[in-house]
């Protein structure tokens, strides 16, 4: 393990923001992780763990230590009649994990195709798409406890999962570093096709034998048509979460805005944030090199040299506008540093 000083984080965050880390190291093994965090504990220095850098916005230099976890490996731990259990190293690219599962005929995560980032960051946000969330397939999470200086395993009930949140994003932030996770996948996949445009796109493509491979292909097609490639245009995917309101609040809103789309979410109602942002006139708008994507208003983009502060100012402007027009508070999905 090599520790570098004053390193630009531009290649390590999906927005392509050019800030520096005081110290930086790539961690390729559990031994690297143990050594790195042992040193941190002794020096009491703030630290940040990067996976794919796909869900964060830097607004300034990081005056501490940044670790980029590069550990690799997908191992079948065990299987039974219905399920297979895979141990995934934190540094694996998430979409590579999905492809591996689909190629082997194991179902459960095909709807999560093309979500950016690494496997180790997936429990932090409880990533989700098209009616599936990580918690639906998670068996356990292995973490390094930086404070107690030991390794431990979390079961799903311990993770405090919610809509795009977890213990790792909230009260465990800065304490628990995810080193691997175990997924419980189906040998006889149960397809989930009733969310978004999946059925319509399958029909348009003339798919009659719907397999998990066909579902993955369609979701990749849908996401690619809506979301910009971070290697071309800097972005962190959805910047905002879709707001969830009570049934009573939705009844009030739909009277005033009859065209407002919605989805049931338990006893509550989820409203597409993209629709709210578009109604406020931000879709496709550009302010210097900071902008709102032309196809998906939930996505804020860096067209070249925008600073993190400029993108954050745009985000706050959108939040203020949506609150004024609809009385709904948008929440950021992206972590701000």
Over the stretch 105-147, which tens digit does the pLDDT of each residue have?
Answer: 999 999 999 998 899 999 999 999 998 999 999 999 999 888 8
- Of the candidates 92, 216, 238, 310, the residue annotated as catalytic is 238
Shared domain for 322 and 266, answered yes or no, is: yes
Q: Is residue 175 among the annotated active site residues?
A: no
Q: Work out the mean pLDDT of the chain and round it to a whole number.
A: 92
**DSSP assignment of 18-52:** --EEEEEEEE-SHHHHHHHHHHHHHHT--EEEESS
Asked if the structure places residue 197 within a domain, the reply is no
**pLDDT in the model for residue 35:** 81
Domain with 134 in it: what CATH number?
3.30.465.10
Q: In which region does residue 19 sit, left (phi positive, over 0), alpha (psi from -120 to 50) or beta (all else)?
A: beta
- Confidence class for position 42, pLDDT limits 50, 70, 90: low
**DSSP assignment of 221-243:** HHHHHHS--TTTSEEEEESBPPP
**pLDDT in the model for residue 43:** 60
Asked if the structure places residue 225 within a domain, the reply is no
Maximum Cα–Cα distance across the chain? 61
Structural domain harbouring 47: 3-69
- Of the candidates 113, 122, 164, 180, the residue annotated as catalytic is 164
Shared domain for 153 and 102, answered yes or no, is: yes
Shared domain for 9 and 38, answered yes or no, is: yes
Q: End of a domain among 125, 152, 186?
A: 186
Shared domain for 80 and 161, answered yes or no, is: yes
Taking only the tens place, the pLDDT of each residue in 197-213 is: 898 888 888 888 899 99
pTM of the predicted protein model: 0.85
Domain with 33 in it: what CATH number?
3.30.43.10
Shared domain for 162 and 241, answered yes or no, is: no
For residue 10, which of 64, 48, 61 has the smallest C-alpha distance? Answer: 61
Q: End of a domain among 125, 158, 186?
A: 186
Q: What is the mean pLDDT of residues 261-279?
A: 92
Shared domain for 249 and 311, answered yes or no, is: yes
**pLDDT in the model for residue 41:** 57
For the chain, percent helix, then strand, then coil, each to nearest 5? 30, 30, 40
Asked if the structure places residue 316 within a domain, the reply is yes
Shared domain for 93 and 164, answered yes or no, is: yes
Burial bucket for residue 191 (CB in 10 Å: 0-12, 13-18, 19+):
middle
**pLDDT in the model for residue 286:** 96
Asked if the structure places residue 205 within a domain, the reply is no
Asked if the structure places residue 61 within a domain, the reply is yes
- Confidence class for position 226, pLDDT limits 50, 70, 90: confident
Shared domain for 160 and 260, answered yes or no, is: no
Domain with 328 in it: what CATH number?
3.90.78.10
DSSP three-state, residue 82 = coil
List residues bridging with 13 in a β-sheet. Answer: none
CB 154 within 8 A of CB 161: no
Q: Is residue 238 among the annotated active site residues?
A: yes
**pLDDT in the model for residue 175:** 86
Q: What is the mean pLDDT of residues 215-224?
A: 93
- Confidence class for position 319, pLDDT limits 50, 70, 90: very high
Termini Cα distance of the chain: 25
Question: Would the pLDDT of 332 be above 70?
Answer: yes
- Confidence class for position 44, pLDDT limits 50, 70, 90: low
- Confidence class for position 22, pLDDT limits 50, 70, 90: very high
Q: Is residue 79 among the annotated active site residues?
A: no
Say which residues have a Cβ less than 8 Å from residue 316's Cβ, sequence separation at least 6.
none
How far is Cα 206 from Cα 239, in angstroms, rounded to an integer? 33
Shared domain for 115 and 157, answered yes or no, is: yes
Asked if the structure places residue 171 within a domain, the reply is yes
Domain count, the chain: 3
pLDDT: is 23 or 321 the higher one? 321
**pLDDT in the model for residue 173:** 86
């Amino acid at each position: 393990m090599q520790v570098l000083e004053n390193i630009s984080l531009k290649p390590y965050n999906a927005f392509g923001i050019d800030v520096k880390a005081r110290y930086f190291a790539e961690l390729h093994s559990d031994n690297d992780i143990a050594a790195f965090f042992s040193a941190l504990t002794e020096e009491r220095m703030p630290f940040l763990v990067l996976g794919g850098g796909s869900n964060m916005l830097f607004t300034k230099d990081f005056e501490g230590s940044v670790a980029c976890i590069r550990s690799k490996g997908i191992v079948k731990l065990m299987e039974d009649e219905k399920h297979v259990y895979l141990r995934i190293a934190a540094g694996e690219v998430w979409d590579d994990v999905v492809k591996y599962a689909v190629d082997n005929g194991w179902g459960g995560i095909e709807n999560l195709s093309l979500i950016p980032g690494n496997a180790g960051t997936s429990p932090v946000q409880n990533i989700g798409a098209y009616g599936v969330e990580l918690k639906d397939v998670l068996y356990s999470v292995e973490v390094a406890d930086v404070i107690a200086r030991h390794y431990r395993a979390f079961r799903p009930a311990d993770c405090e999962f919610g809509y795009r949140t977890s213990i790792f994003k909230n009260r465990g932030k800065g304490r628990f570093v995810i080193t691997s996770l175990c997924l419980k996948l189906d040998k006889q996949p149960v397809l989930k096709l009733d969310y978004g445009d999946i059925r319509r796109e399958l029909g348009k493509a003339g798919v009659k034998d719907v397999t998990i491979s066909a579902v993955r292909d369609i979701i990749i097609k849908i996401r690619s048509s809506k979301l910009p490639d971070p290697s071309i245009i800097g972005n962190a995917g959805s910047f905002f979460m879709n707001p969830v309101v009570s049934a009573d609040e939705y009844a009030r809103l739909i009277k005033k805005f009859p065209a407002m789309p919605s989805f049931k979410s338990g006893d509550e109602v989820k409203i597409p944030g993209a629709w709210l942002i578009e109604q406020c006139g931000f879709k496709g708008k550009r302010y210097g090199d900071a902008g709102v994507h032309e196809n998906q208003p939930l996505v804020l983009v860096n067209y070249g040299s925008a600073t993190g502060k400029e993108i954050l100012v745009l985000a706050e402007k959108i939040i203020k506008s949506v609150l004024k027009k609809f009385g709904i508070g948008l929440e950021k999905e992206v972590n701000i540093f």
